[in-house]
Amino acid sequence: IEIPLAYYPTPIRFSVAFYTIRILGIAASAVVLVVMVHEITTLYVRLIQALRGQRREREARQVTGDAVAASIAHEVKQPLTAIITTADAGSFFLDRDVPDLDRVREALARIAADGHRAGEVIENIRASFRNEVRNRTLVDINELIRDALLLEQDDLSKHKILVQVEPSHHLPQVRANRVQLQQVLLNLIANAIASMAAREQPRTLHLASSTHDDEVMVSIADTGAGVGAQNGERIFSPHFTTRPEGMGMGLSICRYIVEAHEGRLWFAPNMPQGAIFYFTLGAEARDDPTERHAAPEAS
């Protein structure tokens, strides 16, 4: 505006043209000023948004990293403890006057098996955090229950826990990641053992499998302390624990795995004492549709 006006002859002071040129000059600089202020403010707002986004992304990456680290620490603890215990037993048999080489060989085989299991667990945690649906095979849940009980047998006998298994003999197989389902069972059994170990009452662990509609259902019942009414669903939150040595990751990992298999995990009080944890999984093929049990109410 100002440049073309500069070519006009200078108007007489205080005339209409004089004031018009002044007003146009002020308007021109005001427009430039307002546009520049607006542009600069917009740039700063975008910069702040970009920085906040970057920070959020960094925090989210850190949280995922923490979750992976916590899961690895939690899941690998069990096979590592088993390796240490078996190694101690192995050295004991070796240090005898007449070393019992058969028992030592057996201990070494168990150590190797537990080492492989720890490796598989780590590989599976990596896979699950990458959202991979792989390594799913047809799994026999009753066989999985037997294997999990074998792995926990030392702890079960140490705490003098009576084990009752009530498998459904016509259970359809499920398509699932075997190692992950084994982790779920081991976590739920370990929780039941920990809950019963804290009490002097008769200790009974009852595992059952059944079919319900197109689902396979597993229940793990204990006669332990039970879940306090004030805790409810909170027990499934990461880092929630009521145990001094607990990490609070077990149940959240279990729920994550079961839901990744399109199943559900919940608990209900056991009568007269303890807790029952249930989980369901979609069945792949039904052998015998006649066997059906009613599913108990979700808590």
Give me the residues that bind ligand ADP (CB under 6 A), please. 187, 191-192, 195, 222, 224-227, 235, 240-243, 246-252, 275
Q: How many C-alpha atoms does 110 have within 13 Å on its Cβ side?
A: 21
| Shortest spacing between CB 298 and ligand ADP, in angstroms | 16
| Shortest spacing between CB 248 and ligand ADP, in angstroms | 4
Q: Which is nearer to ligand ADP, 83 or 186 (CB)?
A: 186
3-class secondary structure, 290:
coil
| Shortest spacing between CB 173 and ligand ADP, in angstroms | 27
Q: Are 205 and 161 in contact (CB under 8 A)?
A: yes
CB neighbours of residue 108 within 10 Å: 13
Q: Which is nearer to ligand ADP, 64 or 237 (CB)?
A: 237
Q: Which is nearer to ligand ADP, 78 or 195 (CB)?
A: 195
Characterise 135 by phi-psi region: left (phi > 0), alpha (psi -120 to 50), beta (else): left
Q: Are 195 and 243 in contact (CB under 8 A)?
A: no
d(CA 260, CA 263): 7
| Shortest spacing between CB 237 and ligand ADP, in angstroms | 8
| Shortest spacing between CB 223 and ligand ADP, in angstroms | 10
Q: Which is nearer to ligand ADP, 166 or 287 (CB)?
A: 166
Q: Which is nearer to ligand ADP, 124 or 191 (CB)?
A: 191
3-class secondary structure, 135:
coil
Angle (deg, nearest 10), helices 141-151 and 178-197: 50
| Shortest spacing between CB 267 and ligand ADP, in angstroms | 7
3-class secondary structure, 18:
helix
Q: Which is nearer to ligand ADP, 218 or 283 (CB)?
A: 218
